[in-house]
Amino acid sequence: MFNKVLVANRGEIALRVVRACQELGVRSVAVYSEADARAPHVREADEAVCIGPPPSSQSYLLGDKLIEVAKQTGAEAIHPGYGFLSERAWFARAVRDAGLVFIGPPAEAIEAMGSKTSARQLVTAAGVPVVPGTTEALRDASEAEAIADTFGYPVLLKAAAGGGGKGMRVVHKASEMASALESAKREAQNAFGDDAVYVEKYIQGPRHVEIQVLADTHGTVLHLGERECSLQRRHQKMLEEAPSPAVSPELRARMGETAAAAARAAGYVNAGTCEFLLDRDGQFYFLEMNTRIQVEHPVTELVMGLDLVQWQLRIAAGEKLPFDQKSFTPRGWAIECRITSEDPANGFLPSTGRITHLHVPSGPGVRWDGGIEAGSEIGLNYDPMLAKLIVHAPTRLLAIARMQRALRELVIDGVETSRGFHLRLLEHPDVRSGDITIQWLEAHLNELTGAPATADTIQLAAIAAALAADHDRNVRSAGAGEPTGGAAAGADTVPHRDAWRAVARRESLRRD
Ligand code: ADP
């Protein structure tokens, strides 16, 4: 095992890696921007080095500087976390060329899976089903129309270099093709410096189901079951679970073997994830492979009973996986909510400020992977995800109840968060029954946020006034020591908790 590892990231994932290092007896080196000087990952690591000003282009994205810091501090390996440099083949290669170990797949595997078109070619050759479409960039709109005619509308234009849903356009009929292609190319060029766009069939009402894989340097490739990630807003996942309510043991085995075949085809090593669309008929199609640890990895850890981040380190250090495929059957149910500093009632606008009060849920089956604490400043330089709240319980409905309980315990004051949104989400009958698709969340956004999608200021002001009045009422009743349980018609338990939060806020202000 390594003696020392540099953690090239920030926030909850940096802290997650530092914790894994501590449990393995490995010393950790944190890096931080000036904005993160007091962040928990900096304090918890054995050493910490400031690498520059707040913008990530001047700090967390400076690959050469990170390598230099690793060498200066005597770290033997670099863990990239997710985001930032984690899927940059040049960085993985530069780390290797510097005589250090990149805790992730080989640069060649990142490259092979980095372009959607090359990934489609590679996995198709290995017998993996992909969404019908092209594996080459489109020359022009007439070529796109001719191809679309072969499998019918709607179709989806996608940037070959795509990520985060950028450079993607749904096209419903031939007459829309030319302008959609032009705008997809423009967006792809701006976002990725590469305007290659290809076309695939638009699958109606599928689920997003992904398979975790783990591969060592000795040729073992294992699949660790699925995660259901259909609840997305603008292609950003908001709640994930394992297993998926739509996947039987037989389908799990088939999807798992398919993911392992894709990983083998890429010469994959370390932890990775194959994303699939699963349609209503149980057909699944490979979308892409994420060549890194994912945000939602804890749900797999909880149902499979292993520490994926520790295994990333152990694999990178050359250890052999001691498991066989039969060891991996999901036990119970795990759910994760991504707690973000966004205001759902206001179009998910990022909310900034200082966290004045934080109460983290605990109790049976509750896990908090966070990168914040009371006093943390939340700015606009980085991703708005503050923490992940994860629960584990014997069944799906018990996991939902546990998550609701944990969300109610959670208090974050100082910034708006997605907490109330997640509570409403978990009360919805479709979510409770698992009847969801990748379009479900967007289609139900208004009822979940309680705000019109395009609210004008008058409506917003009216809502704010109503909420304030409701808030005052609840503060009064909570102050009297008797929870109302939500007095307003159709109200869930949020108003009561909000009242309690207001009391907590007053208390913490007093303590300050
Ligand atoms: P990105 O790398 O930009 O995230 P993906 O290929 O992973 O792009 O697709 C992002 C999301 O778009 C998927 O999670 C799914 O919700 C939707 N999507 C992608 N391909 C299709 C398709 N062929 N049909 C329907 N929806 C799709």
Measured from the CB, is residue 209 less than 6 Å from ligand 1? Answer: no
Ligand 1 centroid to Cα of residue 168, in Å, is 8
Tell me how far the alpha carbon of residue 331 lies from the centroid of ligand 1, in angstroms.
Answer: 29
Ligand 1 proximity of 165 Cβ (cutoff 6 Å): yes
Active site residue 292: yes
18: Cβ below 6 Å to ligand 1?
A: no
The answer, yes or no, to whether any atom of ligand 1 lies below 6 A from the CB of 154, is no
Closest ligand 1 atom to 167 CA: 3
Quote the DSSP letter at residue 87. T
One domain, residues 353 and 258: yes
203 in contact with ligand 1, CB cutoff 6 A: yes
- Give the pTM: 0.88
Cα–Cα–Cα angle for 79, 84, 88, rounded to 5 degrees:
80
Active-site choice (10, 207, 227, 292)? 292
- Is residue 140 domain-resident? yes
Q: Give the CATH number of the domain where residue 156 resides.
A: 3.30.1490.20
In-domain check, residue 120? no
**Residue 370 and residue 242 in one domain:** yes
Nearest to 156 by CA among 188, 205, 202, 206: 202
Partner residues linked to 349 by β-bridges: 343
Q: Of 431, 449, 467, which one is at a domain's C-terminal end?
A: 449
Q: What is the DSSP string of 242-277?
A: ES-TT--HHHHHHHHHHHHHHHHHTT--EEEEEEEE
Report yes or no on 37 lying in a domain: yes
Task: Give the pairing of strands 4-7 and 27-33.
Answer: parallel
| 300 within a domain of the structure (yes/no) | yes
Q: Which CA distances in Å does 416 have to 256, 340, 346, 384, 500?
A: 39, 8, 10, 11, 16
Express each pLDDT in 142-201 by its tens digit.
999 999 999 899 999 999 998 878 899 999 999 999 999 999 999 999 999 999 999 999
pLDDT in tens, 67-102: 999 999 999 999 999 999 999 999 999 999 999 999
For position 469, what pLDDT does the model report?
52
Distance 154 CA to ligand 1 centre (A): 14
Supply the residue whose CA is at minimum distance from atom 13 of ligand 1. 235
Q: Are residues 288 and 224 in the same domain?
A: yes
**pLDDT tens track, the chain, 512 positions:** 999 999 999 999 999 999 999 999 999 999 999 999 999 999 999 999 999 999 999 999 999 999 999 999 999 999 999 999 999 999 999 999 999 999 999 999 999 999 999 999 999 999 999 999 998 999 999 999 999 999 899 999 999 998 878 899 999 999 999 999 999 999 999 999 999 999 999 999 999 999 999 999 999 999 999 999 999 998 899 999 999 999 999 999 999 999 999 999 999 999 999 999 999 999 999 999 999 999 999 999 999 999 999 999 999 999 999 999 999 999 999 999 999 999 999 999 999 999 999 999 999 999 999 999 999 999 999 999 999 999 999 999 999 999 999 999 999 999 999 999 999 999 999 999 999 999 999 999 999 997 544 545 445 545 555 555 554 444 444 433 333 333 333 333 344 455 555 555 544 444 33
Indicate if 179 and 292 belong to the same structural domain.
no
Is 321 domain-assigned?
A: yes
Does the C-beta of 202 come closer than 6 Å to ligand 1?
yes
Residues 444 and 357 in one domain: yes
Domain boundary, last residue among 400, 415, 449: 449
Looking at the fold, whether 377 and 444 belong to one and the same domain comes out as: yes
Residue 101's DSSP bridge partners are 77
Atom of ligand 1 nearest to the CA of 235: 11
Residues 310 and 414 placed together within one structural domain of the fold: yes
On whether both 232 and 301 belong to a single domain, the answer is: yes
Our answer on whether the CB atom of 208 is closer than 6 Å to any ligand 1 atom is yes
Q: Are residues 157 and 80 located together in one domain of the fold?
A: no
Which ligand 1 atom is the nearest neighbour of the CA of 168? 3
| Dihedral angle of Cα 143, 149, 150, 156, to the nearest 10 degrees | 80
Please tell me whether residues 401 and 502 are part of one structural domain.
no
Distance (angstroms) between ligand 1 centre and the Cα of 347 equals 22
Tell me which residue range forms the domain holding 507. Answer: 455-511
Report the separation in Å between the CA atom of 86 and the middle of ligand 1, taken as the mean of its atom positions.
20
